[in-house]
Structure 1
Amino acid sequence: MAPKFDTIVLGGGIVGVSVAVHLQQRGRAVALVDRKAPGSETSLGNAGLIQREGVYPYPFPRSARALLSYASNRALDARYHPRAMPRLAPFLLRYWWHSEPTRHAAIARAYVTLIEHCITEHRILAEAAGASELLRHEGWLKLFRTRAMEDEELRAAEQCHNEFGVNFEALDKARLHALEPDLSTDVIGALRYTTADSVTDPQGLVLAYERHFRVLGGRVFIGDAATLAPQWRVSTEEGEIEGQSVVVAMGPWSDGIASKLGYDVPFAVKRGYHMHYAAEPGARLHHPVLDAENGFLIAPMARGIRLTTGVELGLRDTPKTPVQLAAVEPAARELFPLRARLDDEPWMGCRPCTPDMLPIIGAAPRHKGMWFAFGHAHHGLTLGPVTGRLIAEMMTGSETICDPKPFRVERFRV
């Protein structure tokens, strides 16, 4: 007889693991299913930021000047695959529409209700999992090379502070280099987002949360989510398992399961790359730092200095094309004294995106016992634990940490 669970969670990334933990804490018998070990896909490769300041999701550029600059396909912060554009165009058009300033501001007012809890929820879960040492509480830095960029970003930071209470520090050149003496002297200043946390090992954090889930009594299976069948069964290496409910938390693969069951969710991915480097002897990086003009981030990680790229627009399963990484690496070496690459090849992952920049969190309207928790774009790590809490509260009929209505899949009329 197939083992039976209250809930099957599909997806072993930060969102799926967090959902599983929160449900198990609330007395549910939970099975966590993924094709690989937890934390092995998208959650492995991010920049390690828990972005309390990220109230305004990343919009699509709308000015003619910006669009023309990206059309050349030589920008450092965003590239695209020309052959993918016919398939991506309908999504990008909706993304562009939602990025209009008035609509974007309304999205931020909904988004803040979720993201304002990201730090506290991570710290609670990390403490319970014995992983607090993986979190850094010093914030992160956005660096500037020109006064024009500095002024633009300072105005945006002041707006977020006034509207949503996002705290920051403006650093002149002297204060910046007192914090990070090994950065290039070409950098003239920075914003330090003081209420953000960062992670020294994103995969290690997911694995710590997964171990905590198992300590609570949860079960982890290697299995194939594509075998999911109502009501609700999925095949694993240990045989078929059954659940009274199922949560789809598969990041960039979630739309495949949703579409199989008849949900036409508007969905695309933003691909990104990373590489680890050794630092020159004696050089140290204390904070994650984003080069605002060149569109890359370097962060001190357990493995070395991680360089992460901006956005590559393409189809999820096409081969790697790490031209962005090659393009920004010289600028990263100029910014901070990097030595040899430490990885055999660049890592690539896919950020799961919706056109209105909000995640999909809530019940599937036409299938009893089916729930969605995906589409977190650049903020999967940031929103994993609070998403887990919100889904668990909704599934158990508890008072919710925020109003879930803005995140329902029904907003797309699926």
Structure 2
Amino acid sequence: MDDVIILGAGIVGIATGIHLLRRGRSVTLVDKSEPGHETSFGNAGIIQREGVRPHPFPRDLQTLLQVGLHLSTAARYEPLALPRLAPPLLRYWWESSPDHYRKVVQSYAPLIGRSIITHSDLIQACGPETEKLISRYGWHLAFRSPDRLEKEAGKAQGDHDQFGISFKVLDWPALKSAEPDLIGGLAGAIHWTDPWTVRDPGALVEAYFQLFEKLGGTFIRGAAKGLKQTGNGWSADVNGRTVSAGQVVIALGPWAPDVLEPLGYRLPLFVKRGYHMHYGTSAAVKLNHLLLDPEVGYAMAPMARGIRITTGAEFAERDAAPTPIQLGRAERAAKELFPLGQRLDPQPWKGARPCTPDMMPIISKAPKHKGLFVGIGHAHHGFTLGPATGELLAQAMTGEATAIDIHPFRMERFMGG
């Protein structure tokens, strides 16, 4: 019997395994897919150190009307999903009120503060080939209107003053100097200088998984069924084989309710689905750094496979058929700014971001069962926060003092406790 079973081999599960192995625990990682091939794979590739403010529910009438009338590229919804999504979305709206949101940011900022530190630790452990995946330039939050650029510059200054986040304001000539092949249509950008970007997120997670195996971790591919508490720990069936351990970690992202609800944990989780596509360019054209176009609602990033466009949020059922409407809109908007070539993927990639109504993840011991721990609900920041979450869970599971206070991320906040 192992010390720990981890269900979910995304970046959170892998990082948790690494930190537990470093503390002398034996670990078995279980997933129905290859490691890192779900939400950890299909993102914009930002280690988002500046992201101290999680995405709130829009509260201005103009944005709400755009979403409600399906005019927005940044967010859309599937009407048939609304009956089930309405309760958590109503709470999401409530938690996004100014007073509540200020408290969320105060709790969330220290967690984001661990992002670069914990990624740097794992990247260094993986070696120089993994270092080649990383750019430390930062990224561009670009604006089409001077008024929006000025407004966001004021917010950025506030985050610098309160949280020490570094940035530069680039006017159009300065942005054009950094990105000579931009066509136009932009007033300038906020250059966030603290974050790192990754030219192949899937390859980075694969490198972390190789480190997990190098440290002695075991991986079993298959769906874990019938997770149950036993006399001395936990057991589950994987492909007809019983795996057991003293402790178990649920790091299944949007699939966590499938395991937690039979154990009596009904959490107000929902998903924001997203899509990506890669594009070619001519030999003479290059995008040097990630650019986010918030007035439309997509990101455009240079990746190993080509230029990757990632979409905003689609509120829909987790397993519903793809509806990549936002991708088409994002593609048209991106071509106004940059000479994108042909699509390189046979179809858009689709993933589901696991979300909580208060915009903060659950990093916690489960309150009703001994030896059950949970790391889920990271929304847009799962890739950023995977290693930090793994560090904090491993510390909590082995009785160490955690690097930051994890009380704000406890599961009980959704259970009346």
Query: TM-score normalised to the size of structure 2?
Result: 0.97
1:166 aligns with 2:168: no
Q: Following TM superposition, by how much is the alpha carbon of 1:223 offset from its aligned partner in structure 2, in angstroms?
A: 2.1
Find the counterpart in structure 2 of residue 200 from structure 1: 199
1:89 aligns with 2:86: yes
User: Does structure 1 conserve the Cα–Cα contact (< 8 Å) formed by 2:185 and 2:336?
Assistant: no
Q: Following TM superposition, by how much is the alpha carbon of 1:70 offset from its aligned partner in structure 2, in angstroms?
A: 1.6
Could you list the per-position Cα deviations for residues 1-23 of structure 1 after superposition, in whole angstroms to 9, with x for gaps in the alignment?
xxx11000110111111111110
User: Does structure 1 conserve the Cα–Cα contact (< 8 Å) formed by 2:48 and 2:381?
Assistant: yes
Q: 1:157 to 1:226 in 2, by over 3 A?
A: farther
User: Does structure 1 conserve the Cα–Cα contact (< 8 Å) formed by 2:225 and 2:238?
Assistant: no
Find the counterpart in structure 2 of residue 259 from structure 1: 261
Find the counterpart in structure 2 of residue 391 from structure 1: 393
Find the counterpart in structure 1 of residue 43 from structure 2: 46
Give the whole-Å Cα distance in 1 for the aligned partners of 2:225 and 2:109: 33
1:32 aligns with 2:29: yes
- Aligned partner of residue 227 in structure 1, secondary structure: strand
User: Does structure 2 conserve the Cα–Cα contact (< 8 Å) formed by 1:362 and 1:391?
Assistant: yes
Find the counterpart in structure 2 of residue 403 from structure 1: 405
Give the whole-Å Cα distance in 1 for the aligned partners of 2:393 and 2:62: 41
Q: Following TM superposition, by how much is the alpha carbon of 1:267 offset from its aligned partner in structure 2, in angstroms?
A: 0.4
Give the whole-Å Cα distance in 1 for the aligned partners of 2:94 and 2:258: 25
The aligned amino acid for 2:28 is A
> Among 250, 259, 268, which residue is 2:252 paired with?
250
Give the whole-Å Cα distance in 1 for the aligned partners of 2:68 and 2:111: 34
> Among 296, 299, 302, which residue is 1:297 paired with?
299
Could you list the per-position Cα deviations for residues 13-44 of structure 1 after superposition, in whole angstroms to 9, with x for gaps in the alignment?
11111111110111000001000110111111
Q: Following TM superposition, by how much is the alpha carbon of 1:56 offset from its aligned partner in structure 2, in angstroms?
A: 0.8
Find the counterpart in structure 1 of residue 69 from structure 2: 72
Q: What is the aligned-residue identity percentage?
A: 48
The 5 A counterparts of 1:31-180 are: 31-130=28-127, 131-180=130-179
The aligned amino acid for 2:354 is P
Aligned residues: 411
Give the whole-Å Cα distance in 1 for the aligned partners of 2:335 and 2:237: 47
Find the counterpart in structure 1 of residue 227 from structure 2: 228
After TM superposition, the structure 1 stretch with the greater mean CA deviation from structure 2, 342-351 or 66-75, is: 66-75
> Among 2, 8, 12, which residue is 2:9 paired with?
12
Find the counterpart in structure 2 of residue 270 from structure 1: 272
Give the whole-Å Cα distance in 2 for the aligned partners of 1:336 and 1:20: 41
Q: Following TM superposition, by how much is the alpha carbon of 1:337 offset from its aligned partner in structure 2, in angstroms?
A: 1.2
Unpaired runs of 5+ residues, structure 2, are none
Query: TM-score normalised to the size of structure 1?
Result: 0.97
Give RMSD over aligned pairs. Answer: 1.1
Give the whole-Å Cα distance in 1 for the aligned partners of 2:267 and 2:343: 39
Q: Following TM superposition, by how much is the alpha carbon of 1:65 offset from its aligned partner in structure 2, in angstroms?
A: 2.6
Give the whole-Å Cα distance in 2 for the aligned partners of 1:237 and 1:211: 23
Give the whole-Å Cα distance in 2 for the aligned partners of 1:333 and 1:66: 23
The 5 A counterparts of 1:327-342 are: 327-342=329-344
Q: Following TM superposition, by how much is the alpha carbon of 1:294 offset from its aligned partner in structure 2, in angstroms?
A: 1.0
Find the counterpart in structure 1 of residue 345 from structure 2: 343
Give the whole-Å Cα distance in 2 for the aligned partners of 1:185 and 1:326: 20
The aligned amino acid for 2:69 is S
Structure 1 segments of 4+ aligned residues over 4 angstroms from their partners? none
Give the whole-Å Cα distance in 2 for the aligned partners of 1:127 and 1:255: 34
Q: Following TM superposition, by how much is the alpha carbon of 1:64 offset from its aligned partner in structure 2, in angstroms?
A: 2.2
Could you list the per-position Cα deviations for residues 302-321 of structure 1 after superposition, in whole angstroms to 9, with x for gaps in the alignment?
11110000011100000000
Unpaired runs of 5+ residues, structure 1, are none
Could you list the per-position Cα deviations for residues 204-229 of structure 1 after superposition, in whole angstroms to 9, with x for gaps in the alignment?
11110011011101101112123322
- Aligned partner of residue 121 in structure 1, secondary structure: helix
